[in-house]
Amino acid sequence: MADTEQNQGAGTNMMHSSILRVIEDKKNINQKLSNIKHKIGVYSAKGGVGKTTVAVNTAFTLSSMGYKVGLIDADIDCPNTLMFLGIKGAFSDEYPLKPAEKDGVKVVSTSMFVDDVKKPIIWRGPLVAKMIREFLDNTDWGPLDYLIIDLPPGTSDAPLSIIQLLSLDGFLLVTTPRHISAVNTIRSGMMAKRLGVALLGVVENMSDGSGNGGEEVAAELGCDLVGKVTANKIFGEMSDSGRVPVLHDSSVKQEFENMIRKAGLVTK
């Protein structure tokens, strides 16, 4: 009996110390990143809804408004962000990591460290978490107004690591108008709420009047629908050739500026 109690005591102590370590880790990382004013995740549990599109165009809209912006590609095993920016061969062996840069926006991605973008990156959870940690803890970001984090789909390793390690201002959730996309985006919103992360708003992307996904997510989660980004072939065409739509099309830029203001990311 006494032995069992002793073992339980040891188990509780171990759990206690690992929780303390997580809290300490988060404190240290956020202290290191204290010269970054806002940290915003772009997220949905559903794949292909336009998280990278929204993250990239939000980052470049903020940059064009005069803010200093960084971008993390937290899609560690299927990184796309650098392709959307037309950045190739950004490898740097400097440590702390030196972000790649396009038009003043700093960016880090696993694709900086692979020699062929088509090569699969087959990593288990702990390695994914380790890479995210490097992007946060050992990257020379310098002072930034905004750090935008492009999350992968799902509700497991990468979103959990980000939530665990970073004090986020909150998530922008992305859905398409379709019901299935909305349901999966609601999952991510519920995860965020359960883990105490604020929801800054819902963006309905690829909006074409075919459904009410944006309204559905906003109503279920009790947050604002902050914008509808129209389905527009410019996104596919430009992203495929590494150009950022908001830098080339004033109506797309206006959609993003409206969304940014409605989500309260900027006040002026």
Ligand X SMILES: Nc1ncnc2c1ncn2[C@@H]1O[C@H](COP(=O)(O)OP(=O)(O)OP(=O)(O)O)[C@@H](O)[C@H]1O
Q: Smallest distance, Å, CB 75 to Mg ion?
A: 5
Cα separation, 174 vs 182, whole angstroms:
9
Q: Which one, 52 or 239, has the nearer CB to Mg ion?
A: 52
- Residue in this structure with the two tokens 């460290």, named with its chain if needed: 113
| Residues 54-73 close enough to bind ligand X by CB under 6 A | none
Q: Smallest distance, Å, CB 244 to Mg ion?
A: 15
| Residues 99-128 close enough to bind ligand X by CB under 6 A | none
- Select from 42, 50, 52, 225 the one that contacts Mg ion (CB under 5 A): 52
169 contacts 196 by C-beta, under 8 angstroms: no
Q: Binding partner of residue 49 among ligand X, Mg ion, none, CB under 5 to 8 Å per kind?
A: ligand X
51 near Mg ion (CB under 5 A): yes
110 near Mg ion (CB under 5 A): no
Q: Which stretch binds ligand X (CB under 6 A): 49-57, 98-106, 120-128, 220-228?
A: 49-57
48 near ligand X (CB under 6 A): yes
Q: Which stretch binds Mg ion (CB under 5 A): 30-38, 49-57, 112-120, 219-227?
A: 49-57
In Å, what is the CA distance from 164 to each residue of 109, 188, 239?
Answer: 19, 15, 31
11 near ligand X (CB under 6 A): no
Q: Smallest distance, Å, CB 9 to ligand X?
A: 45
51 near ligand X (CB under 6 A): yes
Q: Binding partner of residue 206 among Mg ion, ligand X, none, CB under 5 to 8 Å per kind?
A: ligand X
Q: Which one, 125 or 236, has the nearer CB to ligand X?
A: 236
Cα separation, 39 vs 198, whole angstroms:
12
Strand bridging mode 144-150 / 225-230: unpaired
Burial class (CB in 10 A: 0-12, 13-18, 19+), 187: middle
Which residue pairs from 217-221 have beta carbons closer than 8 angstroms and sit at least 24 positions apart in sequence? Answer: 217/173, 217/175, 217/182, 217/185, 217/186, 217/189, 220/182, 220/186, 220/189, 221/173, 221/186, 221/189, 221/190, 221/193
239 near ligand X (CB under 6 A): yes
50 near ligand X (CB under 6 A): yes
